[in-house]
């Protein structure tokens, strides 16, 4: 079982996928990435998830994010399943699905939780930055479909806070006010945030999102 934590390097791997043999790092290049796992092919919740991700292609592209899915079944099974996804979800799957029949990548990333199932993966999600470090990890049970609007929201936050001295408050979304990092003094905040800021408490200072006009 992998013990990956936030900030760790995302393990690189070579894999057979629905789009041919792929090296994970080469596939990501300088982009952000999402790696997410599915318990098995031809499962109902996963069918809706993969269809949703395909429909989010433009949203991911706008954020320089590449997506790769994983299932423990083989390539031929994936290709048949993709046909079903395209038909039932009215879309075209436009990203690779890893064939992880030997569970090598699943174990590398800690996607198999024996107390849930000895062989099938849980619904793991890893968001990986351009520096190949893990920025986010979320694990859902097999019975609960993922919220990809939430993943878009989190990526927006990660990308904003990677380059600005701010954090995003609860339920934040693009365009909302943000929190000035505690490490920034008021003197520096006056220079760094020309839109101004509101001091709610000495440790809680709110300012308009700095990269929005």
Q: What is the CA radius of gyration of the chain?
A: 19
Find the catalytic residue in 46, 85, 97, 111: 46
| Environment class of 210 (CB within 10 Å of its CB; exposed 0-12, middle 13-18, buried 19+) | middle
List Cβ neighbours of 57 (8 Å cut-off, separation of 6 or more). 94, 95
Give yes or no: 177 in active site. Answer: no
Tell me the CATH architecture of domain 164-207: 2-Layer Sandwich (3.30)
pLDDT of 3 reads: 82
- Distance separating alpha carbons of residues 18 and 200, to the nearest angstrom: 52
Q: What is the pTM of this model?
A: 0.89
Secondary structure of the chain in the HEC alphabet? CCCCCCCCECCCCEEEECCEEEEHHHHHCCCEEEEEEECCCCCHHHHHHHHHHHHCHHHHHHCCEEEEEEECCCHHHHHHHHHHHHHHHCCCCCCCEEECCCCHHHHHCCCCCCCCCCCCCCEEEEEECCCCEEEEEEEECCCCCCCHHHHHHHHHHHHHHHHCCEECCCCCCCCCCEEECCCCCHHHHHHHCCCCCEEEECCEEEECCCCCC
pLDDT in tens, the chain (213 residues): 458 899 999 999 999 999 999 999 999 999 999 999 887 889 899 999 999 999 999 999 999 999 999 998 899 999 999 999 999 999 999 999 999 988 899 888 888 654 445 445 557 899 999 999 999 999 888 788 899 999 999 999 999 999 999 999 999 999 999 999 999 999 999 999 999 999 999 999 999 999 887
pLDDT of 120 reads: 56
pLDDT of 39 reads: 79
The ranges assigned to domains in the chain are 14-146, 164-207
pLDDT of 213 reads: 73
- CATH number corresponding to 14-146: 3.40.30.10
Do 14-146 and 164-207 fold alike per CATH? no
């Amino acid at each position: 079982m992998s013990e990956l934590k936030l900030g760790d390097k995302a393990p690189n791997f070579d894999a057979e996928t629905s789009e041919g043999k792929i090296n994970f790092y080469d596939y990501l290049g300088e982009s952000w990435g999402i790696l997410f796992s599915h318990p098995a092919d031809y499962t109902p919740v996963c069918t809706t998830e993969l269809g949703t991700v395909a429909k989010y292609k433009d949203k991911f592209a706008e954020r320089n994010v590449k997506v790769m899915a994983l299932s423990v079944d083989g390539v031929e099974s994936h290709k048949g399943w993709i046909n079903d996804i395209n038909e039932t979800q009215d879309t075209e799957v436009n990203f690779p699905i890893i064939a992880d029949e030997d569970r090598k990548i699943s174990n590398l990333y800690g996607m198999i939780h024996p107390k849930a199932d000895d062989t099938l993966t849980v619904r793991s999600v890893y968001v990986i930055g351009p520096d190949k470090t893990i920025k986010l990890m979320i694990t859902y049970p097999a019975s609960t479909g993922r919220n990809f609007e939430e993943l878009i929201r989190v990526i927006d936050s990660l990308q904003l806070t990677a380059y600005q001295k701010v954090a995003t408050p609860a339920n934040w979304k693009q365009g909302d006010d943000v929190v000035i990092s505690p490490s920034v003094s008021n003197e520096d905040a006056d220079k760094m945030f020309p839109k101004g800021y509101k001091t709610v408490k000495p440790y809680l200072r709110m300012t308009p999102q700095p990269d929005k006009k």
